[in-house]
């Protein structure tokens, strides 16, 4: 069955598919140069984000790879014209690499989220403000507009995300961890790195002493058209915080110190006839399709806290990759199995009589946390788990140990090294 047959009764093409991603990329490509560079900071409002690509959910899950985007954009635009778009792609890579050097940041965040929810229940006034914030019923009309858009679409303009986080932290005085968790549960492109670290940056924790303050003038300048669509759009803007305050960072110096880890087994991917392949939401790219043997497992991570639109996107994406593997390999679709736990995967490997299990490198985050015990389980039954870091991450991540400046000044040389110049 082809992808077209699979979705013949669905119009438009389901959101979480590579076909939809390619369609959207093709429509945006002519605007990826100067147009994006000049207008990318403008939030026009829900359904009107014509100045940005909207491709981030596909890049986050590597339905579209970073290399693919950079290469195709540079084939259509000069480096100077496409500089801002390419830089934004490298920003996402930077956050991912930065966190990979410091996995304790994510581990501490997971613990603090639960702690802050528990604390919230002990302070009724604070809990009321929180409920108003997540329901979009604050006194700040444009904030409410962003809440509604996030819930309805799983997306917010990047500039709006910074304003939202700043208002959440410094005006509403809510814990940044809960705001980051709210984002993560709704954003289709939410990943542990860019989401968590972006919120830390706004709060003044990522770059010590450097906070981000949402101001009325900046919002009116870059969200003017959005404001016009909101009844009583000025309501509450005058009440925005005019200054930030210091937030104590719970992380130790050691936890924020980059590790020297090589991240993964960097040997070339070689899947033998009696090996198995594991696919996760962290990498749904086509790069694995020619590496697949007869045995394929897909890890289907579920989280009841995720919004319905996020659950649907992930469901569509996993279904799509399953059919793409079947179309492009010798694997029968009936033999591509989906599992919800490390225990299920380990049992399946043993029953199939395969030797080893291979996957793309699983970076720090919820999926890795869910599969922590998998290597030990496999080893106990005489099997090995091999994760393979792709050339792009292997090349770029060493530049992500410090601030973005270190990576930013190397982008041109990295493009050359990776052969991405069109």
**Averaged over 148-163, what is the pLDDT?**
97
pTM over 0.85: yes
Neighbours of 345 (CB within 10 A): 24
pLDDT band at 97 (very low <50, low <70, confident <90, very high): very high
pLDDT at 253: 87
| Architecture of the domain made up of 106-239 | Orthogonal Bundle (1.10)
Q: How far apart (Å, rounded) are the C-alpha atoms in residues 73 and 33?
A: 8
Q: What is the pLDDT of residues 113-122, one digit of tens each?
A: 999 999 999 9
- 3-100 classified as CATH 3.50.50.60: no
CATH number 3.40.50.620 is the correct assignment for the domain at 276-388: yes
How far, in Å, are 61, 84, 91, 115, 232 from residue 188 at the CA level? Answer: 9, 22, 18, 25, 29
Instruction: Round to the nearest angstrom and report the end-to-end CA distance of the chain.
Output: 33
1 falls in which pLDDT band (50, 70, 90)? very low
Sequence ranges of the domains in the chain: 3-100, 106-239, 276-388
Query: What DSSP letter does each residue of 257-321 carry, written as one string?
Result: SPP----SB-SPP---TT-EEEE-TT---GGGGGG--SEEEEE----TTS-HHHHHHHHHHHHHH
Beta bridge partners of 337: 297
What whole-number distance in Å separates Cα of residue 121 and Cα of residue 125? 10
Q: Note the pLDDT of residue 10.
A: 37
Question: Once rounded to an integer, what is the mean pLDDT over residues 285-290?
Answer: 74
Q: Give pLDDT tens digits for 243-274.
A: 999 999 998 888 888 886 656 556 667 778 78
Is the pLDDT confidence value at 55 over 60?
yes
Calculate mean pLDDT across residues 342-361: 93
Q: Does residue 343 register a pLDDT over 50?
A: yes
Query: What distance in Å separates the CA atoms of residue 180 and residue 201, rounded to the nearest whole number?
Result: 11
Q: Comparing 286 with 89, which gets the higher pLDDT?
A: 89
Give the pLDDT confidence score for residue 3 in this predicted structure.
41
Backbone dihedral angles phi then psi of residue 22, each to the nearest 5 degrees: -65, -40
**CB 400 within 8 Å of CB 93:** yes
The proportion of the chain whose per-residue pLDDT surpasses 70, expressed as a percent, equals: 94
Is the predicted pLDDT of residue 376 greater than 80, yes or no? yes
């Amino acid at each position: 069955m082809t992808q077209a047959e699979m979705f013949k009764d669905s119009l438009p093409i389901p959101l979480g598919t590579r076909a939809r991603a390619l369609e959207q990329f093709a429509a945006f490509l002519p605007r990826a140069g100067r147009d994006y560079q000049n207008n990318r900071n403008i939030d026009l409002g829900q359904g009107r984000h014509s100045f940005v690509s909207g491709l981030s959910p596909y890049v986050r899950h590597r339905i579209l790879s970073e290399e693919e985007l950079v290469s195709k954009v540079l084939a259509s635009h000069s480096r100077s014209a496409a500089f801002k778009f390419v830089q934004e792609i490298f920003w996402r890579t930077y956050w991912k690499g930065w966190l990979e050097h410091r996995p304790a940041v994510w581990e501490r965040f997971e613990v603090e989220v639960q702690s802050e929810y528990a604390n919230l229940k002990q302070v009724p006034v604070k809990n009321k403000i929180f409920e108003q914030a997540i329901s979009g019923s604050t006194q700040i009309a444009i904030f409410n507009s962003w809440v509604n858009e996030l819930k309805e679409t799983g997306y917010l303009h990047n500039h709006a995300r910074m304003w939202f986080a700043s208002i959440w932290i410094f005006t509403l005085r809510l814990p940044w961890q809960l705001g980051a968790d709210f984002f993560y549960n709704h954003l289709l492109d939410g990943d542990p790195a860019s989401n968590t670290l972006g919120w830390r940056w706004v709060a003044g924790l990522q770059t010590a002493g450097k906070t981000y303050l949402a101001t009325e003038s900046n919002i009116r300048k870059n969200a003017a058209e959005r404001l016009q669509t909101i009844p009583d759009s000025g309501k509450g803007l005058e009440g925005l915080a005019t200054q930030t305050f210091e937030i104590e960072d719970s992380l130790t110096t050691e936890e924020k110190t980059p590790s020297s880890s090589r991240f993964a087994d960097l040997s070339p991917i070689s899947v033998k006839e009696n090996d198995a392949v594991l696919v996760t939401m962290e990498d749904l790219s086509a790069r694995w399709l020619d590496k697949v043997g007869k045995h394929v497992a897909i890890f289907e991570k579920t989280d009841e806290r995720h919004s319905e639109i996020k659950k649907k996107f992930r469901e569509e994406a996993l279904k799509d990759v399953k059919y793409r593997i079947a179309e492009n390999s010798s694997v029968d679709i009936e033999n591509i199995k989906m599992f919800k736990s490390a225990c299920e995967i380990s049992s399946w490997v043993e029953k199939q009589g395969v030797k080893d299990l291979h996957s793309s490198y699983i970076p720090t985050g919820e999926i890795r946390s869910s599969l922590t015990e998998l290597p030990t389980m496999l080893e106990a039954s005489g099997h090995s788990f091999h994760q393979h870091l792709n050339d792009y991450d292997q090349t770029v991540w060493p530049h992500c140990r410090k601030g973005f400046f270190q990576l930013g000044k190397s982008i041109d040389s990295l493009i050359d090294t990776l052969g991405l110049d069109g």
